[in-house]
Structure 1
Amino acid sequence: MTTPVAAVVGQLARDLVLSVDAVPGAGEAGDATGRREQLGGKGANQAVALAQLGVRPRLVAVAGDDVIGDVLLDQARRDGIEVTAVVRRRDTLTGLIVELLESDGTWRYVQHLPEAVLLTEHDVEAAHAVIAGADAVLVQLQQPPAAALAAARIGHDAGRLVVLDGVPEERRDDLLAAADVVRADDREARLLLGDEPTVENARSLLDQGPRLLALGVGDGNLFVWRDGDLRLPLTDEKVVDTTGGGDAFTASLTASLLRGEDPATAARWAVAASGATVGHPSGRPDLRSEDLAKRVRELSGE
């Protein structure tokens, strides 16, 4: 069986995660109880997860021309990620995301992601062959609308599985028309469908293009497709850090669909992957464990 390929269009950044007992107040200093420095950003996180799930990821992102960019791309290659379509922006520092993670799971981000480390429409068009040649195209909508739409349309026109991560603030109709799957967390789902997303108003959105919606609904996730729906609770995994849970969710949902599994099965894989990721600090997934399949069976009632 041929290994499926996925193009991931999104963010690459250096992640610095500092665990602290409490965030110090103004004018105070505090000690970190733990420190992690790693390849991060939503695009890279999803690419790492896909590689762990048996999909060959191609990352379409921007790194600076600094030494940090060199280090992160070396790590991406070791993770099994193809990085030929990563743009090295001249005179630019690679994006940086600093997470302060308190012992109760509360987190705060300080990030430096200026315009120079975001994809442009030209960047995406330059990666046309990489995107069109993949079996699935994952598009993070935190990228500029023109770049996100260009990636979605390339995938759609090539007949690929197009997965949108987030809610479009601009060009919404055009993006939805190009999408097969839309993933939205709790906040994004409310922006998309109102204060109380329901099966009925979610299904009305399917008329605009998507064939599967995966929506956060507070205590779980709601999945809606043309001839079915499924509500799954969050897993009972102890939550240490919610960072990266959504990225693992989106990657696992995509990997399952690429295996030809039905929406209900894909939904269970997505929830299981998210639960496995929030049980440890930082957004870096670890989905190669046999425990993941066990979690899926438990969600299926087996």
Structure 2
Amino acid sequence: MTAPTAAVIGQLARDLILTVDELPEPGSSGAAGSRREQLGGKGANQAVALAQLGVRPSLVAVAGDDVIGDVLLAQARRDGIDVRSVIRRPGALTGLIVEILEPGGAYRYVEHLPPPVLLGEQDVLRARDTIAAADAVLVQLQQPAEAALAAARIGHEAGRLVVLDGEIKDESILAYADVVRADEKESGGIVLGRGPRLQAIAEQDGNLFVWEGGQIKIPLADAEVVDTTGGGDAFVAALTAALLGGQSYEEAARRATAASGATVGHAGGRPDLRDV
């Protein structure tokens, strides 16, 4: 049986994670307890998770033409990701996300994601064949609205499963979506009937799933949370994989919540879902 495929439209970046016992005072320095450097960004995280779950992912993203871009793309290939639709932007530095993680899961991000390493509408249109050929199209709404809209439209017109992740800033995109995932702050209320068939809302005490004629709330697992970074990305990937596998909304909801729980138990957003 051929594995399903997915096109992920989103961010690729170098993730640098530093753990600290406490933040140094202004004008002073402090030691990091540990350091991780890895392939990251929401798009890459979701693509890694999909590959671990048996879905063949293609990544539509932007990398600089620097050596860091070379290193990250090499890692993506080892992770089983098709990176032929990743744009190498001349003269740009590959995106960087620095996470400073304190005990108890408190984090601070310092990001360098300037416009050259974000997707433009023309970048997405050049990847049309990749997007239209995939069984599912995952669109991160943190990317510029024109690019996100173009990707969702291509997926919808090709009859693919279109999954939106993040805050809906332009409601016209809802007409092209099958699934919307957001947190309480991003959701802005239920959007069923305006395109999506399923909405997943991350709440403080669990994940709420709503569809026509039904809903379910899956409580969060009673486990230590080390770092919430990447939990949403694992959630979206597992939800997509379950739906592509023909699972019911309730089954997909449980799988997505389990994947998120497995990811927040370690530092950094890189998933490890091979046992989920």
Q: Identify which of 185, 188, 206 aligns with 1:187.
A: 185
Cα-Cα RMSD: 0.7
Pick from 228, 249, 256: which aligns with 2:235?
249
CA distance in 1: counterparts of 2:120 and 2:77, whole angstroms? 23
Q: Counterpart of 2:192?
A: 206
Which of 242, 266, 288 is the aligned partner of 2:252?
Answer: 266
The code of the aligned residue for 2:159 comes to G
Partner of residue 217, structure 1: 203
**Conserved 8 A contact 1:246-1:274:** yes
> What is the deviation of 1:167?
1.6
Shift of 1:206: 1.1
The alpha-carbon deviation at position 150 of structure 1 amounts to 0.1
Match of 2:223 in 1: 237
Query: Is 1:284 aligned with 2:270?
Result: yes
Is the Cα–Cα contact under 8 Å of residues 14 and 40 in structure 2 kept in the other structure? yes
Q: Which stretches of structure 1, 4 residues or longer, exceed 4 Å deviation after superposition?
A: none
Offset of 1:187 from its aligned partner? 1.9
Counterpart-to-counterpart distance in 2, 1:237 and 1:122 = 43
Q: Quote the residue 1:57 is aligned against.
A: 57
Q: Percent identity?
A: 68
State how far apart, in whole Å, the 1-side matches of 2:181 and 2:139 are.
10
Aligned-partner Cα distance in 2 for 1:225–1:273: 21
Letter in 2 for 1:5: T
Report the equivalent of 2:85: 85
Letter in 2 for 1:215: I
- Do the aligned residues in 2 keep the contact of 1:145 with 1:168 (CA within 8 Å)? no
CA contact (8 A) 1:119 1:143 kept: yes
Q: Indicate if the aligned counterparts of 1:65 and 1:94 stay in contact, CA closer than 8 A.
A: yes
Q: Which moved more, 1:225-234 or 1:132-141?
A: 225-234
Q: Which residue of 2 aligns with 1:106?
A: 106
Residue 173 of structure 2 is matched in structure 1 by: 175
Q: Distance in 1 between matches of 2:23 and 2:104?
A: 12
- The alpha carbon displacement at 1:282 in A equals 0.4
Q: Secondary structure at the match of 2:138?
A: strand
Q: How many residues align?
A: 276
What is the Cα deviation at residue 257 of structure 1?
0.2
- 1:199 is aligned to none
**Aligned equivalent of 2:148:** 148
Q: How many angstroms apart in 2 are the aligned matches of 1:263 and 1:4?
A: 18
Q: Distance in 1 between matches of 2:274 and 2:256?
A: 14
TM-score (norm 1): 0.90
Query: Which deviations, in whole Å up to 9, do the C-alpha atoms of 1:245-300 show, x marking residues without a partner?
Result: 000000000000000101000000000000000000000000012xx2xxxxxxxx
Match of 1:39 in 2: 39
Task: Kindly state the Cα deviation for residue 186 of structure 1 after the two structures are TM-superposed.
Answer: 2.5
The one-letter amino acid paired with 1:163 is V
Question: Could you list the runs of 5+ residues in structure 1 that have no partner in the other structure?
Answer: 194-201, 293-302
Q: Cα offset for 1:217?
A: 2.1
One-letter code of the match for 1:46? Q
Question: 1: CA distance between counterparts of 2:272 and 2:55?
Answer: 14
CA contact (8 A) 2:168 2:186 kept: no
Deviations 1:166-188 (A, max 9, x none): 1221x21x211100000001321
Q: Helix, strand or coil: the match of 2:104?
A: coil
TM-score (norm 2): 0.99
- Matched residues in 1 for 2:91 and 2:255: separation? 41
Letter in 2 for 1:72: L
Q: Which moved more, 1:107-116 or 1:20-29?
A: 20-29
Distance 1:213 1:235 in 2: 20
**What do the CA deviations read for 1:44-77 (whole angstroms, capped 9, x no partner)?**
0000000000000000000000000000000000
